[in-house]
């Protein structure tokens, strides 16, 4: 009885649990830090459980629609409304479920890591409050089927992220990074709101499915599309709107940086949702597809070339994050460019999209892992400067192993997960345009070169006298990193299983606009 109710209301609980836990956190924190830690971990475990439960439901029995305030959650269109979903509707299809899984796994491992890694700081009540708000923001963004609701969760996410980027004030430098991030993301969110206003003015609706079913692709829609792509592309850190990424990623606490990766990908999800579900074949797929491909290629090349000369390990990783985002844009962009042409879509379009989507989940895992290892190193030696590191492999063996796993995965070396998704992208993009595929491979090689250098300067070499008694990172941090590393290895060893059960439904869900609309609107 209770389990049925929980399953039926899981989309609401998914956002509710972290929200309630977040705002209760400052009060719980007054009791004692230990109770607060239990509270935060408990809330995160529950949220992750909800996400996995809901994802299981979606993957086994199709899109879940949850209507807030309706007599039955599935009743998105009230009988007396004339066929319009008047309430806020959460529409969780396979793509949303995939993003929820990403948020759940990374969110949980980051919390475990954070319990040990950030315990020396003050003001941890607010830290965890904002962290749980970030989780609520991500979960809401990927679940919602309502454009304005999407904007609200986007703002929840960026306000809490900005607070956390500035959290370790660091003589004002972190605040500087946060200002940069927050000014840009506020303007981005406002631009998205303009686009939402345009949709509302044209179609009298905010529900994605309703707008999609009425989409005309007029001049105004084209303006809205450009606004959406620009703002969401900026939020996910694609070149040429990437300026905030290295600053924010390097100045935030490492655990938050790992979460910022997920936050960027929630924006990426928004971009794909807009392009595929809102517009789909009405837009000029080849043109928009090429725009996204060009954004992707620029991100890949600029990201990796900027990464090579960096001396700050987290700044370097941040540039690599930009570069990896390029792969996702490339893969999905190729899928979009051939949208509407079934034979090309079957030949390579689906595989390219699956590669891009698979890379999203892989990236969240290995990039999160890499940022967490960087954080563990910073925790022990107090510097992020590569030139002042060395010989840490003697003392931090587990951290070194986790770093190697992450580095090989990001460079696309088998048998790690980065290889599986990159191979799919190479093969399919080669059939679309060989030059793009070659660029992607070269970027991968440069990534490998860069990480070999980083690995060498952090871990190799003789034991340095100042780091002679450096200890291994504490156990909770290792557990957090271990979860992510395990996922990286498992996804790399069994890519077929993951692609068949998670990625392919997600790609289908993006392409198949009709299914999304009919899930909300009923049999229409």
Rounded to a whole number of angstroms, the minimum distance from the CB of residue 444 to other proteins is: 28
Only one residue has tokens 């840009």, namely 184
Rounded to a whole number of angstroms, the minimum distance from the CB of residue 84 to other proteins is: 11
Options 2-10, 61-69, 174-182, 430-438: segment touching other proteins (CB under 8 A): 174-182
Cβ proximity to other proteins: between 78 and 197 the closer is 197
One character per residue 250-279, x = contact with other proteins (rule: CB under 8 A) = -x----------------------------
Options 70-78, 198-206, 259-267, 500-508: segment touching other proteins (CB under 8 A): 198-206
Options 43-51, 185-193, 354-362, 404-412: segment touching other proteins (CB under 8 A): 185-193
Concatenated DSSP letters of 360-423: HHHHHHHHHHHHHHHHHHHHHH---BGGG---GGGT-HHHHHHHHHHHHHHHT-TTSHHHHHHH
Instruction: Figure out which of the listed residues 6, 190, 435, 460 binds other proteins, where binding follows CB under 8 A.
Output: 190
CA distance 524 to 518: 6
Q: Is 282 in the site for other proteins (CB under 8 A)?
A: no
Concatenated DSSP letters of 311-368: -BHHHHHHHHHHHHHHHHHHHHHHHHHTTT-HHHIIIIIHHHHHHHHHHHHHHHHHHH
DSSP 464: P
As beta bridge partners, residue 65 has: 91
Q: Is 177 in the site for other proteins (CB under 8 A)?
A: yes
Answer left, alpha or beta for residue 135, where phi above 0 means left and psi between -120 and 50 means alpha.
alpha
Instruction: Figure out which of the listed residues 124, 139, 178, 208 binds other proteins, where binding follows CB under 8 A.
Output: 178
Q: How wide is the angle at C-alpha 293 spanned by C-alphas 356 and 448, nearest 5°?
A: 60
Rounded to a whole number of angstroms, the minimum distance from the CB of residue 297 to other proteins is: 27
Instruction: For 258-285, give one letter per residue: b (16+ CB within 10 A) or e.
Output: bbbbbbbbbbbbbbbbbbbbbbbebbeb
Q: Is 162 in the site for other proteins (CB under 8 A)?
A: yes
Instruction: Figure out which of the listed residues 57, 93, 221, 247 binds other proteins, where binding follows CB under 8 A.
Output: 247
Q: Is 182 in the site for other proteins (CB under 8 A)?
A: yes
Q: Which of residues 499-518 bind other proteins (CB under 8 A)?
A: none
Cβ proximity to other proteins: between 197 and 340 the closer is 197
Q: Is 179 in the site for other proteins (CB under 8 A)?
A: yes
Measured CA to CA in angstroms, residue 133 lies from 166, 271, 404, 514 at distances of: 16, 22, 32, 33
Q: Which of residues 96-155 bind other proteins (CB under 8 A)?
A: 148, 152, 155
Cβ proximity to other proteins: between 130 and 498 the closer is 130
Rounded to a whole number of angstroms, the minimum distance from the CB of residue 235 to other proteins is: 15
Answer left, alpha or beta for residue 396, where phi above 0 means left and psi between -120 and 50 means alpha.
beta
Rounded to a whole number of angstroms, the minimum distance from the CB of residue 186 to other proteins is: 5
Cβ proximity to other proteins: between 43 and 166 the closer is 166
3-state secondary structure of 84: coil
CA distance 319 to 326: 11
Q: Of 444, 455, 507, 32, give the one whose Cα is nearest residue 269.
A: 507
Options 14-22, 32-40, 159-167, 386-394: segment touching other proteins (CB under 8 A): 159-167
Interacting residues with other proteins (CB under 8 A):
148, 152, 155, 159, 162-163, 166, 169, 171-173, 175-180, 182-183, 186-187, 190, 193-194, 196-197, 200-201, 204, 206, 247, 251
């Amino acid at each position: 009885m209770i389990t049925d109710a929980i399953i039926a209301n899981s989309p609401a609980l998914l956002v509710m649990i972290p929200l309630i836990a977040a705002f209760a956190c400052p009060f719980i924190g007054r009791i004692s830090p230990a109770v607060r830690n239990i509270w935060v971990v408990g809330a995160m475990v529950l949220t992750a459980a909800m996400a996995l439960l809901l994802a299981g439901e979606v993957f086994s029995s199709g899109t879940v629609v949850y209507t807030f305030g309706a007599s039955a959650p599935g009743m998105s269109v009230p009988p007396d409304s004339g066929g319009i979903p008047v309430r806020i509707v959460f529409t969780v299809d396979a793509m949303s479920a995939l993003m929820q899984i990403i948020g759940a796994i990374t969110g949980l491992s980051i919390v475990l890591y954070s319990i040990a890694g950030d315990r020396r700081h003050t003001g941890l009540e607010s830290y965890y409050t904002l962290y749980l708000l970030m989780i609520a923001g991500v979960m809401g963004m990927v679940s919602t089927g309502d454009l304005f609701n999407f904007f609200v969760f986007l703002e929840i996410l960026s306000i809490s992220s900005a607070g956390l980027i500035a959290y370790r004030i660091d003589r004002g430098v972190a605040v500087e990074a946060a200002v940069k991030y927050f000014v840009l993301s506020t303007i981005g969110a406002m631009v998205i709101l303009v686009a939402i206003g345009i949709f509302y003015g044209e179609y009298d609706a905010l529900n994605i499915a309703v707008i999609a079913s009425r989409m005309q692709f007029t001049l105004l829609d084209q303006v809205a599309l450009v606004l959406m792509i620009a703002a969401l592309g900026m939020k996910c850190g694609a070149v040429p709107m990437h300026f905030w990424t290295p600053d924010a990623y390097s100045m935030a606490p490492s655990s938050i940086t790992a979460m910022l990766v997920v936050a960027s990908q929630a924006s990426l999800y928004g971009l794909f949702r807009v392009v595929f579900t809102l517009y789909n074949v009405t837009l000029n797929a080849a043109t928009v597809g090429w725009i996204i491909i060009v954004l992707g290629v620029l991100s890949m090349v600029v990201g990796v070339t900027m990464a090579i000369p960096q001396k700050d390990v987290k700044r370097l990783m941040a540039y690599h994050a930009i570069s990896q985002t390029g792969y996702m844009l490339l893969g999905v962009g190729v899928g979009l460019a051939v949208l509407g042409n079934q034979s090309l879509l079957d030949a390579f379009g689906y595989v390219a999209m699956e590669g891009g989507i698979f890379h999203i989940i892989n990236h969240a895992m290995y990039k999160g892992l890499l940022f967490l290892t960087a954080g563990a190193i910073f925790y022990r030696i107090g510097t992020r400067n590569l030139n002042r590191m060395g010989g840490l492999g003697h003392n931090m063996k587990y951290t070194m192993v986790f770093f190697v796993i992450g580095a090989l995965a990001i460079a696309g070396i088998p048998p790690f997960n980065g290889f599986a998704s990159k191979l799919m992208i190479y093969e399919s993009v080669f059939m679309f345009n060989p030059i793009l595929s070659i660029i992607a491979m070269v970027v991968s090689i440069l990534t490998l070169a860069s990480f070999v250098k980083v690995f060498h300067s952090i871990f190799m070499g003789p034991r340095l006298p100042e780091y002679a008694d450096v200890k291994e990172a504490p156990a909770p941090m290792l557990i957090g990193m271990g979860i992510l590393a395990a996922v990286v290895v498992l996804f790399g060893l069994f890519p077929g299983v993951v692609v068949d059960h998670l990625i392919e439904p997600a790609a289908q869900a993006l392409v198949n606009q009709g299914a999304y609309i009919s899930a909300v609107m009923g049999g229409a």
